[in-house]
Amino acid sequence: MAIQRLEKDFDTSFFVRDHVHKQLHITPTGKQFAVHVDVILNELKIAHQEINQAESSSIRFGLPPIIGNYYFPPLTPLLMREGLLSHLETSEHGSKEILKMLKHGNLDMALLGSLNPLKEVGLKTTELAEYPFKIIVSKHHPLATKKEIDFATLKNERFIVPDTEFFHEQAFKQISHLAHFRPQVIYRTADIHVIKTMVAENLGIAYLTSLAITPEDNIHSLNVTSPLKQSFRLSAVTRSTELLTAPKQKLWDLLTTKKE
């Protein structure tokens, strides 16, 4: 009866009823309605989560590993002084997984990496910094005498790359495609420190964001001039529907005023 009332309200049929075979077949308008129902149910789920969190002082915070290792640590003294560090319930995953968790209401706020400006329906984003991708080589590598490089000239090099959870993988595929060659990948790992150590030992070269490159790494970095200049864009993100509690608003303000 409920379905029939909906069909009457929308002046359409969501199902074709086969009384002979006692079967229902969904119509095109029924399929369209089902899409909207899924959206509504997801919004209701998120609403429940946001309301449950409204009285909580905790902040479910998403932090991808590369951002957690190289961007976030200098912020921790400030967060400690402001009394925010103890409120954080941190989830560490790749940016793609963090974005999904945020959309589904499983996180309140996150720092995310992306190749392009992050514009997602239902999310409030503020870009904080942009870090160019660079080629890193051992100080004993022939390329260590250069300051910049055309990626297309690297087709005979051996690459050490981050695994598929990083946006590095997407960036690497894009630039390799534009350079018209398939790189020789000798090793993949989620550990950026391992990649830099292997590069320092001259076991291969890597394509990394400058965010993850430090003076202590004992490696040489080169700017990429062609065929594409890519950057790792770092953004603070929350859902646009969530009314931030005082601790969450304070964290958001601190993160977004620390733009580089």
- The pLDDT value recorded for residue 29 is 74
Residues forming CATH 3.40.190.10 domain(s) in the chain = 59-124+237-256
Q: How far apart are CA 260 and CA 258, in angstroms?
A: 6
- Domain spanning 130-232, CATH class: alpha beta
Residues forming CATH 3.40.190.290 domain(s) in the chain = 130-232
In sign, the C-alpha dihedral spanning 178, 181, 186, 188 is positive
- Cis before residue 227, ω within 30 degrees of 0? yes
pTM of the shown model: 0.77
Q: Which amino acid is at 30?
A: G
Distance of CA 167 to the CA centre of its chain: 7
The CATH number fitting domain 59-124+237-256, selected from 3.30.413.10, 3.30.70.270, 2.30.29.30, 3.40.190.10: 3.40.190.10
- The pLDDT value recorded for residue 72 is 95
Element (H, E) at 112: strand 109-114
Tens place of pLDDT per residue across the chain (260 aa) = 667 776 676 677 766 776 677 777 777 776 776 666 666 666 666 566 656 555 667 999 999 999 999 999 999 999 999 999 999 999 999 888 999 999 988 999 999 999 999 988 899 999 999 999 999 999 999 999 999 999 999 999 999 999 866 788 899 999 999 999 999 999 999 899 999 999 999 999 999 999 999 999 999 999 999 999 999 999 999 999 888 999 999 999 999 986 55
- The pLDDT value recorded for residue 40 is 64
- The pLDDT value recorded for residue 165 is 66
Q: How far apart are CA 164 and CA 171, in angstroms?
A: 11
List the one residue out of 63, 97, 103 whose CA is nearest residue 251.
Answer: 63
